[in-house]
Chain A
């Protein structure tokens, strides 16, 4: 119940989302706006005829991030503002890790929304109804897991596991592959480097 708790929980919950926003969206606001008003496909066609697919994936990512941030913010911001004020956590016998748990849950929810968005859009594009069903079911599963709320261990661990699985699935759906991952990590990905050069 101090500034340390406030800032710590705020950065745990919203740090990655903010970083994603700053590094991927804030630098290209025009592109994002164009995507959202739907002109991107036509506009991008005039620039590069092969870029219709990436625009839809970008839209999926952006909308997933948007939904995730809104959901995380609405769930957590009141708790955060209470953490600034005076009080003792768990004085009536509840867990003293209330804020930390909420922060980590918020983080995982935001990331899950991003991955779900990518998978869902791809499922709609390619008419893979099984993907849609799995997204829906895992969402319900994650929400149901939060019902066992004082038992943070099971809750958090299983939700993070689901998040990792969804992340791997979304990575492959978005066109990644083991090879491209390796190239990226070793900074040998020429396309990525060139792309960055061009868009600057």
Chain B
């Protein structure tokens, strides 16, 4: 009996961790969650409702409409008229590619509650799924005018701009994110990549600075290390730079090369163990 209890608590804790980390490991969530719901529902207490929600979303991700439907019914029964459950119903319609019906669902949420950010963002996701990037970008910009602190939205917008090759605007979004998250090495590194892609000496120098900043925040960021090497090399090779700048960038590039070689040596050693 004790073994069963341990297994059950392990499963429940796993689900909680994945929820807290916002992991999209949907296949695993479905695996663990389905068993938990089918075998151990009575032990879950009030946790069961949030687990139904988590498993439902994962089930949609894995095309398990049967499981998603079951979870949705339980939630509908327990929370009739809930906006949160309405949104889940909308997501199911999205998964079934019934975009018009899903949109109507979100519109009805917004009618009752115009500040419902979740519904607004789902509507934008629909545009994205339909390949309507220009509209998605426009709606997301409008959304951000009202909800200027929404990090997730800023990042989504930067991704949309990158896909449209609008690097200037992508850089702007990442600048917003770096301002509010100065310790996040990933934003620095992505910003540097965008600047590098834009090209030109000025942008290359900016990209080198931000690759270096990303490394300062996380010295194991390989993309930043390679990025530093590449941007410094390109600057050093440019006919437009004077001898001093050239010398400095050769130094940066050499330093980066050494760090890269060291990192690979350590990794080979680890592989041999």
Whether both chains belong to one complex is answered with no
Q: Give the A-binding residues of B (Cβ under 8 A).
A: none
